[in-house]
Amino acid sequence: MAELKMPRLDPVMEEGRIVEWLKKEGDDVSKGETVLVVEGEKTTFEVESPYTGKLVKILKRSGEVVKVGEAIAVIEEVEAPSPPSKVKPRIRIKASPVAKKLAKELGISLEEVEGTGPGGRITKEDVLKYAKERGIAIPAIAPKAEVIEEKVKRVPFAGVRRAIARRLSPGFHEALPVALTMEFDADKLLEHRKVKGKPSFTAYAVKAVALALKKHPEINLTLEGDELIYHESVNIAVGVDTPKGLMAPVVKDADKKTLKELTEIIDDFAERGRRGEITVAEQSGHSFTVTNLGALGVIYFTPIINPPDAAILALGTVKPQPYLTEEGEVKLKHVGYLTLVFDHRLVDGAPAARFLQTIKSLLENPEALEP
Q: Residue 263: what pLDDT?
A: 96
Sheet holding 28-29, edge to edge: 2-5, 71-77, 53-58, 28-29
Domain end call among 22, 46, 77: 77
Q: Is 154 part of any domain? A: no
Q: Residue 147: what pLDDT?
A: 45
Q: Is 152 part of any domain? A: no
Most confident among 31-35, 63-67, 356-360 (mean pLDDT):
356-360
Catalytic pick from 10, 267, 268, 348?
348
Same-domain pairing of 301 and 213 = yes
pTM of the predicted model as reported, rounded to 2 decimal places: 0.58
Catalytic pick from 10, 253, 267, 344?
344
Same-domain pairing of 238 and 365 = yes
Domain count along the chain: 3
When the pLDDT of each residue in the chain is averaged and rounded to a whole number, the result is 85
Same-domain pairing of 199 and 311 = yes
Q: Residue 243: what pLDDT?
A: 84
Same-domain pairing of 59 and 113 = no
Q: Is 166 part of any domain? A: no
Most confident among 5-9, 145-149, 205-209 (mean pLDDT):
205-209
Q: Residue 148: what pLDDT?
A: 44
pLDDT above 90 covers a percentage of the chain that reads 51
Q: Is 84 part of any domain? A: no
CATH number reported for the structural domain that contains residue 72 in this entry: 2.40.50.100
Same-domain pairing of 134 and 259 = no
Same-domain pairing of 271 and 340 = yes
Same-domain pairing of 322 and 199 = yes
Cα–Cα dist 41/60, whole Å: 18
Neighbours of 369 (CB within 10 A): 21
Prior bond of 307 cis (ω within 30°): no
299 vs 225, residue with greater confidence: 299
CATH number reported for the structural domain that contains residue 121 in this entry: 4.10.320.10
Q: For the CA atoms of the chain, what is the radius of gyration?
A: 27
Same-domain pairing of 272 and 344 = yes
Return the SS3 of 337.
strand
> Lowest-confidence range among 107-116, 135-144, 324-333?
135-144
Q: Is 194 part of any domain? A: yes
253 has catalytic annotation = no
Q: List, in order, residues 6 or more apart from 370 with CB less than 8 Å away.
A: 196, 207, 258, 259
Domain that holds residue 10: 2-77
Distances (CA, A) of 274 to 36, 154, 244, 270, 327: 22, 23, 8, 6, 50
Q: Residue 145: what pLDDT?
A: 43
Q: What pLDDT band is residue 116 in, cutting at 50, 70 and 90?
A: confident
CATH number reported for the structural domain that contains residue 290 in this entry: 3.30.559.10
pLDDT digits (tens, 9 = 90+) for 293-334: 999 999 999 999 998 999 999 999 999 999 888 888 898 999
Q: Is 36 part of any domain? A: yes
Q: List, in order, residues 6 or more apart from 340 with CB less than 8 Å away.
A: 179, 180, 181, 311, 312, 313, 314, 352, 355, 356, 359
pLDDT above 90 (res 110): no
Q: Is 160 part of any domain? A: no
Same-domain pairing of 325 and 183 = yes
* Contacts of range 162-167, beta carbons closer than 8 Å, 24 or more positions apart: 162/41, 163/41, 163/42, 164/245, 164/246, 167/306, 167/307
Same-domain pairing of 307 and 217 = yes
Q: Are 234 and 221 in contact (CB under 8 A)?
A: no
27 has catalytic annotation = no
Q: Is 30 part of any domain? A: yes
Q: Residue 91: what pLDDT?
A: 56
Cα–Cα dist 271/198, whole Å: 18
Prior bond of 320 cis (ω within 30°): no
Cα–Cα dist 100/92, whole Å: 13
Same-domain pairing of 32 and 123 = no
Give the end-to-end CA distance of the chain in Å, rounded to a whole number: 67
Q: Which amino acid is at 80?
A: A
Residue 322 burial (CB < 10 Å; 0-12/13-18/19+)? exposed
Same-domain pairing of 103 and 62 = no
> In the chain, how long is the greatest CA-to-CA distance?
91
Q: What pLDDT band is residue 34 in, cutting at 50, 70 and 90?
A: confident
Rounded to the nearest 5°, which phi and psi values hold at 247?
-115, 160
